[in-house]
Amino acid sequence: MNYTINQLRIFLKITQTQSVTKASEELHLTQPAVSIQLKNFQDQFEIPLTEIIGRKIFITDFGKEIAVTAENILNQIYEINYKTLAHKGLLTGRLKISVVSTGKYVMPYFLSDFLREHEGIELVMDVTNKSKVIRSLEKNEVDFSLVSVLPENLQIEKTELMQNKLYLISNTNQQFNDKIYDKSILEELPLIYREPGSGTRQTMEIFIRENKLPVKKKMELTSNEAVKQSVIAGLGCSIMPLIGIKNELQNGQLQIIPVKEFPIKSVWNLIWLKGKNHSPVALAFLDYLKNEKENIIKAKFDWFERY
């Protein structure tokens, strides 16, 4: 056997994602590089680790056993690294956070200086839709989750980070000359939705339902970036978080349609399971947020308050 740490890491990620493509994306590697490492790893075993049926990859029972061992080995390696840094008196360990997709425009700014101060901390941040974020929290797979819509059937604790605002937007080819429109304008515009399970979609649907608006659903897309590009291309309008459209507003690709009762407001909350026994790293991060949150908002999100 002559496998490498990198091969173990790649194989474990493939078993977790059930996809070479998704594994390559999460590891920030090219798909061919991941495929080559998987083949090199497989060549060291006489028993298949995976099998391809159609175009889908499946992990064999033997492969699942190897994945468990790989995870244990990698955890031991991380532990060695942490012990080395801890021996030097540094705060060490992993900080695991799951973030709803629009939260990728928020969370990094609350992490950057903290991680710079503590080089011994390894960040594991999963960016996905709200349903998967809540699932990872419920399974106690993460320290914290960032959401703008709180889960209804889960006992949690939270700390507020900052306000979230959602506006009705279109591309700039369309003309909206009125100073402000009634919310009934939503009945006339073809709307682009996020997929079920998205916090943005949930907020949008609650507003539409409470106001009894018979809207025209044009299409459904699986990411805010896809929605944004579709609006820019003129395929429809949408209700989107301000935090994710800053550049497009400033460069004239998108415009906010002024509508009564907009923006729809919510709050970005960092949440965790009630009664969770936090690690020293997680406790340090909560303490950091308590002391620095307002300074971060003032320094990084001053533009946000102008809308």
Hey, where are the domains in the chain?
A: 5-86, 89-162+267-306, 163-266
Q: What class, spelled out in words, does domain 163-266 have in CATH?
A: alpha beta
- CATH hierarchy code of domain 5-86: 1.10.10.10
Q: How confident is the model at residue 306, as a pLDDT?
A: 82
Whether 5-86 shares its CATH topology with 89-162+267-306 is answered no
Give CA–CA dist 189/231, Å, rounded. 12
- The third-level CATH classification (topology) of the domain covering 89-162+267-306 is D-Maltodextrin-Binding Protein; domain 2 (3.40.190)
Query: What pLDDT sits at residue 249?
Result: 94
pLDDT at 11: 92
pLDDT means per 10 residues in the chain (307 residues)? 87 90 87 91 92 88 92 80 61 88 92 90 89 90 93 92 94 90 90 88 89 84 89 94 93 94 93 91 92 94 86
For 20, half-sphere exposure in the C-beta direction (CA atoms, 13 angstrom radius) is 18
pLDDT of residue 222: 82
| pLDDT for position 80 | 72
> Which pLDDT belongs to residue 85?
60
Please state the pTM of the whole predicted model: 0.69
Report CA Rg, the chain.
22
pLDDT of 159 reads 96
Q: pLDDT value at position 87? A: 55
Question: What angle, 0 to 180 degrees and rounded to 10, lies between the N-to-C axes of helices 107-117 and 280-300?
Answer: 120
Structure token pair of residue 171: 């591309």
Residue 10's contacts (CB-CB under 8 Å, 6 or more residues apart) are: 23, 27, 29, 34, 37, 38, 41
The torsion angles phi and psi of 213, rounded to 5 degrees, stand at -100, 120
